[in-house]
Amino acid sequence: MVSPANDSPLEVSCPQCAKRVPWLPESTYRPFCSKRCQLLDLGAWADESHRISGESAMDEADIETLLAQADKDAPLS
């Protein structure tokens, strides 16, 4: 069996504080370095500081406008 050239585990940067974290089963909070960093990140998502880029979803007013427009455009039977 061929052993890998580098026996050291993969390391990633903690998304919150950038501390290097070994990617091992023992690293309980990976990719975060600690429970604190994990909770800080979760809190940022909860208060919408972190967002996934893209178009915003339609809200209820937009849907009502589209439905009203569709009713106007529908042919009479």
Please tell me whether 17 is known to bind a ligand.
yes
Residue 14 annotated as part of some ligand binding site: yes
Q: Which DSSP string do the residues of 45-71 spell out, in sequence order? A: HHTTSS---SPPPP-HHHHHHHHHHHH
Among 48, 44, 47, 10, smallest CA distance to 30 is for: 10
Instruction: List binding-site positions for Zn(2+).
Output: 14, 17, 33, 37
Instruction: List binding-site positions.
Output: 14, 17, 33, 37
